[in-house]
Amino acid sequence: MYNIAIDGPAGAGKSTIAKLVAEELSFVYVDTGAMFRAMALYMLRNGVNVESEEDVGKACNSIDITITYADKEQQVILNNENVSGLIRTEEVGNTASKIAVYAPVRTKLLELQRELAVKENVIMDGRDIGTAVLPNAQTKIYLTASSKERARRRVEQLEQNGIKSNIDEVEADIIKRDEQDMNRKIAPLRQADDAKYLDTSDMSVQEVVAAIISQYNIDKQNK
């Protein structure tokens, strides 16, 4: 199977780009952030103390996460409930980043992520895909943009959904999340040695998609 790993900080456009690349190459898109978000939703709903690794670890034993596809869109199933429409809030995203530092959370999702990648040609996005989940991925991309640009895109996206937000607050949130994701002990966000670095601050979506496809074509010939 061919695996493309896309890592990068919050709001770098990973999911938008990965979906388009998946379409073009007829690959399956796997959004690993959604899995961490579904686990975070469980913690929030059940009042689990997310400051405590022990409490979060115990809660992990009551969680079952599976992935299905409807019209090619990934659906996240949490204990038999499709929660895909409930995990896109800032609260869930920030809680996901918090619990993602704990070993039981990461171990639980690692197996599921690897299983998906052996069954299909996948383009998988997250924070540790090229470094930890799929170290043998044939193509690896590290996608980033300045925090200001990422905040600007996020505000625009929220506006399209009818939600007003303050750009400085959104940027502060993004910086905090980056810090958390880059400085944790297990599988922190970092560029894999063999990943292609793409700063998309001044690139259009089409340009980024084209750059990844061209990297894929190079890697396909060489590997």
Binding site for ligand DC (CB under 6 A): 10, 32-33, 36-37, 93, 96-97, 100, 126-129, 177, 181
Q: In this complex, which beta carbon is closest to ligand DC, that of residue 138 or of residue 180?
A: 180
Shortest reach from residue 73's CB to ligand DC, in Å: 15
Shortest reach from residue 194's CB to ligand DC, in Å: 18
Shortest reach from residue 13's CB to ligand DC, in Å: 11
Per the CB < 8 A criterion, the answer to whether 155 and 165 are in contact is: yes
Antiparallel, parallel or unpaired: β 28-31 and 122-126 = parallel
- Tokens at residue 150, please? 């990422």
Strand segments, DSSP code E, in the chain are 3-7, 28-31, 65-70, 73-78, 81-82, 122-126, 139-144, 196-199
Q: In this complex, which beta carbon is closest to ligand DC, that of residue 34 or of residue 209?
A: 34
- Tokens at residue 103, please? 């070993």
Measured CA to CA, the distance from residue 152 to residue 197 in angstroms comes to 21
Q: In this complex, which beta carbon is closest to ligand DC, that of residue 118 or of residue 218?
A: 118
Shortest reach from residue 33's CB to ligand DC, in Å: 2
